[in-house]
Chains A and B, each alone.
Chain A
């Protein structure tokens, strides 16, 4: 992929000539007289894009697989209306080559328009990451009508807790990699304002990270609600940790079953959860809460970032569409040891994680099981998939308990 340009890159003479031309001696003349240096006169050393093209030969992420020198050249002239550039969008993927086994996305969006201005790079990335979903021709269905859910009340002997999360971005304000302090504070203000309007079982309170007391902090840690300053270089290299903890905070309802993170990796992350297996109730609350928050911000003239090609717009391309991860902590000690486990999960379009979240190990045969997909299927479809799948897994576990055999199900037909 980089072959023709690596020849240009390795030509020192070429770069040497370019650097001569930068005219540092002339600049030096100007600079010895301090008065001559004036603010606001843009002067910049310009290189052809071949000299700027990142070295991605050791990289393994979706950005590196799709950013050809030709695309880089074409897109490096472009900028979103807010001033976000290609180099900024891909910086995290350049700085984090990736893992041989885990393929990260390798780029982020700085604003809603990123997905449009840099579509030539993002469309193939979205296609790769979301099972062939083609934003140019496909439409993403949004469906938050939880009444459509069938069953969804799991056996509490197996399912310890149920949880649904997603993210929402406020249209008109830049996303965490690019937002200014004022924009971030505005996101906080808009969200907190809306959340203050929630009632009944959704009545709650906001805890700003900058102002919380030690006691409040400890309570939030004990409840496993508190999020920390990001340490993952995937996030910090994208600029999401700037100005921490300014305008970051946590809101939750009094029942502690509905939780919103503000200005962490997205404008808002919305989480509905409870102990036990009543996924239907969790999803009910999720949809209700989301719709109510949307109504409240619309009253003030705001709306969420959404379009019919990509669904809900979030910072990371992996979270487009529904941005939804519906999951349970479920005890599957026997099934977890069965060699068919991974294949069963694959065919059910599910993924497993340890109970500490992504990249943790399962403890005591308890797994975090959730949907694999995000884009191309609606919220209702994805939650139904999780419900049907987990029911199947519990059936398998029960059969294994009785010494009976289990079957690997046929792969779910993907739309």
Chain B
């Protein structure tokens, strides 16, 4: 390409065009795809033909488009990241771009797909966003040259050789039922799960997204006892149902954040999105928002142990139900649970409380104490909101490299200490002897 003179492009026949694009053979593949009879099989016979080679098939996402980019040099395609401040921009050198740009995951997710959100959102001078997303489980493998350093930067030096421990046994949590409810207004634990074998929200086709929804509905419908509940599909809900979910603070909206939209997570909204919650409104699952599943356990007051119990029990049950239907969650011993955003790898867990700390929050050492306890603060509206009336959302800062039990333990112990400090400050006493060591 470049500045060379271009001959007048004579219009070719459709067939000639397709042959030129190397697509002559794809028809047989997709004709099979339309023959529903082929797809009736038993779980045990999940053999090769169904995980099908799809070189050059058009949809979904046959990745013929990435081949167009290969006609240009790497230098011509390399994004302008000079004004950017996110993890991706700091790590993606032109040389790395050149090495990775011809690669694709088995489902056709490419480097440009990974980084588009980071290009379109240069970032904030103070907040360091990640700037890349995964389109499927294999993204973390195929593009590890980029993602391993991103993960290392984001997760406190986590190395490619490190192993992540998963521990969802709530009995291992010590205490946690003793946080003072005069100060701790509510307790909540959330995480995400991805269904292995399906593309993630930035990349999934409508058919895949609907399949994830169907599997999730089936699994959740089998929950019973205090986990008995109901699913509300976003596109079918009545006005009354919608209002109730808003009042309960359960309803999630179409993403407006350009961080999410630029990666393609808002496509086809609200198709195959929905909310499930149990009758007692203490266990909630979001389907197909930023991840396949977001799982939330919560209740008023300070009994984090009960919240975590329900969290682990519910998650374990859901995982079991998925396994019964022949599916499992994306997980490996290096990255733990695999989710769309690299910042949520490992446990994907955020355990937090809404806690009244009007005195503590005004103390000069507040930020420092939080740092030592490996906790972070947010406003009660969630990330990027301000605290109202001295009430803060306090949660674990880490996600990867620590188990679920370890992280929740850290929150429980840390919040207990913060409340102790708050009480001392109320009485006009000093808290210097309570300042903890750096964890």
Q: How far is the CA of A241 from the CA of B119 in the complex (A)?
A: 11
Q: State whether the Cβ of A100 lies closer than 8 Å to any Cβ in chain B.
A: no
Q: State whether the Cβ of A402 lies closer than 8 Å to any Cβ in chain B.
A: no
CB distance from B176 to the nearest CB of A (A): 33
In the complex, the answer to whether B62 meets A20 with C-beta atoms within 8 Å is no
Q: State whether the Cβ of A68 lies closer than 8 Å to any Cβ in chain B.
A: no
Q: How far is the CA of A241 from the CA of B261 in the complex (A)?
A: 11
In the complex, the answer to whether A77 meets B211 with C-beta atoms within 8 Å is no
**Which partner residue on chain B sits nearest A77 by CB separation?**
B30
**Which partner residue on chain A sits nearest B143 by CB separation?**
A39
In the complex, the answer to whether A243 meets B120 with C-beta atoms within 8 Å is yes
**Which partner residue on chain B sits nearest A78 by CB separation?**
B58
Residue in B46, B198, B271 with the greatest tally of chain A CB atoms within 10 Å: B46
- Within residues 70 to 122 of chain B, which ones have a CB less than 8 A from any CB in chain A? 72-73, 76-80, 103-108, 116, 119-120
Q: How far is the CA of A34 from the CA of B139 in the complex (A)?
A: 12
In the complex, the answer to whether A76 meets B46 with C-beta atoms within 8 Å is no
From B40, B77, B262, B325, A180 is in contact (CB under 8 Å) with: B77
Q: State whether the Cβ of A12 lies closer than 8 Å to any Cβ in chain B.
A: yes
Residue in B18, B47, B58, B211 with the greatest tally of chain A CB atoms within 10 Å: B58
Q: State whether the Cβ of A40 lies closer than 8 Å to any Cβ in chain B.
A: yes
Residues of A contacting B20 with CB < 8 Å?
81
In the complex, the answer to whether B21 meets A81 with C-beta atoms within 8 Å is yes
In the complex, the answer to whether A39 meets B196 with C-beta atoms within 8 Å is no
Known: A21-B41, A31-B137. A85 touches B62 (CB 8 A): yes
CB distance from A79 to the nearest CB of B (A): 4
**Which partner residue on chain A sits nearest B197 by CB separation?**
A24
Stretch binding the partner chain, chosen from B1-9, B149-157, B355-363, B388-396: B1-9
In the complex, the answer to whether A20 meets B79 with C-beta atoms within 8 Å is no
In the complex, the answer to whether A83 meets B52 with C-beta atoms within 8 Å is no
CB distance from B211 to the nearest CB of A (A): 4
Known: A18-B39, A81-B21, A83-B64. A302 touches B72 (CB 8 A): no
**Which partner residue on chain B sits nearest A84 by CB separation?**
B65
Q: How far is the CA of A78 from the CA of B77 in the complex (A)?
A: 26
CB distance from A38 to the nearest CB of B (A): 8
In the complex, the answer to whether B34 meets A180 with C-beta atoms within 8 Å is no
Q: State whether the Cβ of A28 lies closer than 8 Å to any Cβ in chain B.
A: yes
Known: A20-B325, A28-B328. A82 touches B68 (CB 8 A): yes
Stretch binding the partner chain, chosen from A87-95, A129-137, A353-361, A378-386: A87-95
Q: How far is the CA of A303 from the CA of B106 in the complex (A)?
A: 38
Residue in B34, B65, B142, B235 with the greatest tally of chain A CB atoms within 10 Å: B65
**Which partner residue on chain A sits nearest B107 by CB separation?**
A44
Q: How far is the CA of A54 from the CA of B1 in the complex (A)?
A: 37
Q: State whether the Cβ of B125 lies closer than 8 Å to any Cβ in chain A.
A: no
Q: State whether the Cβ of B326 lies closer than 8 Å to any Cβ in chain A.
A: yes
Known: A19-B211, A23-B46. A81 touches B17 (CB 8 A): yes
From B23, B51, B67, B103, A43 is in contact (CB under 8 Å) with: B51
Known: A21-B39, A43-B53, A246-B80. A77 touches B27 (CB 8 A): yes
From A27, A44, A82, B60 is in contact (CB under 8 Å) with: A44
In the complex, the answer to whether A241 meets B326 with C-beta atoms within 8 Å is no
Residues of A contacting B67 with CB < 8 Å?
83
Q: State whether the Cβ of A2 lies closer than 8 Å to any Cβ in chain B.
A: no
In the complex, the answer to whether B79 meets A79 with C-beta atoms within 8 Å is no
In the complex, the answer to whether B198 meets A43 with C-beta atoms within 8 Å is no
Q: How far is the CA of A364 from the CA of B332 in the complex (A)?
A: 66
In the complex, the answer to whether A48 meets B34 with C-beta atoms within 8 Å is yes
Known: A16-B214, A44-B52, A303-B8. A182 touches B72 (CB 8 A): yes
Q: State whether the Cβ of B317 lies closer than 8 Å to any Cβ in chain A.
A: no
From B51, B69, B218, A26 is in contact (CB under 8 Å) with: B51
Q: State whether the Cβ of A411 lies closer than 8 Å to any Cβ in chain B.
A: no
From A16, A25, A40, A84, B215 is in contact (CB under 8 Å) with: A16
Q: How far is the CA of A1 from the CA of B195 in the complex (A)?
A: 33
Residues of A at the B interface (CB closer than 8 Å) are: 9, 12, 14-28, 31-32, 34, 37, 39-49, 51-55, 58, 73, 76-87, 91, 94-95, 113, 116-117, 171-172, 174, 178, 180-183, 185-186, 189, 210, 236-237, 241-244, 246, 300-303, 307
**Which partner residue on chain A sits nearest B16 by CB separation?**
A81
Q: State whether the Cβ of B141 lies closer than 8 Å to any Cβ in chain A.
A: yes
CB distance from A321 to the nearest CB of B (A): 19
In the complex, the answer to whether A47 meets B33 with C-beta atoms within 8 Å is yes
CB distance from B79 to the nearest CB of A (A): 6
**Which partner residue on chain A sits nearest B206 by CB separation?**
A52
CB distance from B148 to the nearest CB of A (A): 12
Residues of A contacting B14 with CB < 8 Å?
116-117
CB distance from A30 to the nearest CB of B (A): 9
Residues of A contacting B46 with CB < 8 Å?
20-26
Render B150-189 as a binary contact track against A, CB cut-off 8 A, 1 for contact. 0000000000000000000000000000000000000000
In the complex, the answer to whether A22 meets B106 with C-beta atoms within 8 Å is no
Known: A17-B40, A48-B36, A183-B72. A24 touches B52 (CB 8 A): no
Known: A81-B20, A181-B79. A25 touches B326 (CB 8 A): yes
Q: State whether the Cβ of B266 lies closer than 8 Å to any Cβ in chain A.
A: yes
Q: How far is the CA of A19 from the CA of B212 in the complex (A)?
A: 8
In the complex, the answer to whether A242 meets B108 with C-beta atoms within 8 Å is no
In the complex, the answer to whether A31 meets B196 with C-beta atoms within 8 Å is yes
CB distance from A45 to the nearest CB of B (A): 6
Q: How far is the CA of A107 from the CA of B20 in the complex (A)?
A: 26
Residues of B contacting A95 with CB < 8 Å?
266-269
CB distance from A248 to the nearest CB of B (A): 11
In the complex, the answer to whether A178 meets B8 with C-beta atoms within 8 Å is no
CB distance from A122 to the nearest CB of B (A): 14
In the complex, the answer to whether B214 meets A19 with C-beta atoms within 8 Å is yes
CB distance from A48 to the nearest CB of B (A): 5
Q: How far is the CA of A189 from the CA of B72 in the complex (A)?
A: 15
In the complex, the answer to whether A45 meets B64 with C-beta atoms within 8 Å is no
Q: State whether the Cβ of B50 lies closer than 8 Å to any Cβ in chain A.
A: yes
